[in-house]
């Protein structure tokens, strides 16, 4: 969460949008967009979910849920947490990944009051779609680099996560510009969200790079981004899965 004082009024802004931050009509519109987006994701994800990948998706969702509960400091009085878009997209693909993030956000809203029910649609759009698909676009653009080795994959994961976090924060700013119900000026919201989430993106990038690298070092065949790569281009020195030839 980010907090500051503007003209004597306490202002709190967080990536998890809370109830009342966006007016009801705007929240309803984004709820509808989120439902349509999830319907598309469920349809597209069918071809990616197999007996081997489904457990991986569950583990990734559980990991993101757990890590999102941990905040790391970025500035005095300001902290951030993992969004997870780049992580899930790289490991299980963008369609399955968007479902994973949406489920995490729904559980957090329902059981932990992190965000809110009326704001759940906007939160899903920002983190499960905008941030995730921006990250995936960066990862795809850098796929050749990622396939060249552990360092290349780590660099790709870091950049994808960093840019995805900033993209998600811009989604927040757009929604606030359309239907913001608070007293904070749009310029203040923009500077806080983009500036501080650029710092959060550094932490996100490090966590994503380390996690993706750890999975790829053991089972590169489980990294969605590396699918279809020639075996000698996946990750040199990575241990091959049992039964495969080197």
CA distance 169 to 147: 29
- Domains of the chain in start order, with CATH, are 18-234 (1.10.1760.20)
Q: Which residue has the higher pLDDT, 152 or 235?
A: 152
SS3 sequence of 59-91: HHHHHHHHHHCCCEEEECCEEECCCCHHHHHHH
Percentage with pLDDT > 70 across the chain: 81
Kind and range of the H or E element at 202?
A: helix 186-218
Query: Of 156, 152, 186, 155, which is closest to residue 172 (Cα–Cα)?
Result: 186
Q: Which residue has the higher pLDDT, 169 or 79?
A: 169
pLDDT tens track for 98-124: 999 999 999 988 888 777 788 899 999
CA distance 160 to 83: 12
Confidence of residue 89 (pLDDT cuts 50, 70, 90): very high
CB 95 within 8 A of CB 41: yes
Helices 150-179 & 85-92 angle (0-180, nearest 10): 130
Q: Which residue has the higher pLDDT, 77 or 138?
A: 138
pLDDT tens track for 2-50: 434 333 333 344 567 777 888 999 999 999 999 999 999 999 998 888 8
- Cα dihedral 79/83/87/88 (nearest 10): 160
pLDDT at 74: 62
pLDDT at 240: 45
Can you tell me the mean pLDDT for 69-96? 81
Percentage with pLDDT > 90 across the chain: 52
Confidence of residue 245 (pLDDT cuts 50, 70, 90): very low
CB-count exposure of residue 116 (10 Å: 0-12, 13-18, 19+)? middle
């Amino acid at each position: 969460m980010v907090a500051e004082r503007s003209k004597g009024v306490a202002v709190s802004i967080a990536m998890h949008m809370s109830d009342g931050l966006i007016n009801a009509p705007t929240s309803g519109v984004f709820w509808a967009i989120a439902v349509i987006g999830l319907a598309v994701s469920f349809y597209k994800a069918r071809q990616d979910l197999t007996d081997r990948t489904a457990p991986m998706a569950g583990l990734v969702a559980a990991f993101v849920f757990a890590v999102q509960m941990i905040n790391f400091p970025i500035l005095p009085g300001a902290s951030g947490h993992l969004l997870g878009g780049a992580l899930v997209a790289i490991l299980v693909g963008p369609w399955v990944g968007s479902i994973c993030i949406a489920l995490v956000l729904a559980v957090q809203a329902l059981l932990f009051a992190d965000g809110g029910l009326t704001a759940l649609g906007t939160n899903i759009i920002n983190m499960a779609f905008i941030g995730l698909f921006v990250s995936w676009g960066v990862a795809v653009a850098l796929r050749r680099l990622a396939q060249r080795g552990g360092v290349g994959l780590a660099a790709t994961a870091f950049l994808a996560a960093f840019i995805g976090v900033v993209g998600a924060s811009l989604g927040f700013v757009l929604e606030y510009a359309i239907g913001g119900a608070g007293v904070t000026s749009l310029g203040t919201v923009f500077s806080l969200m983009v500036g501080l989430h650029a710092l959060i993106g550094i932490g996100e990038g490090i966590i994503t790079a380390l996690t993706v690298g750890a999975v790829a070092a053991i089972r590169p065949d489980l990294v969605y981004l590396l699918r279809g790569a020639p075996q000698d281009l996946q990750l040199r020195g990575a241990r091959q899965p049992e039964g495969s030839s080197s």
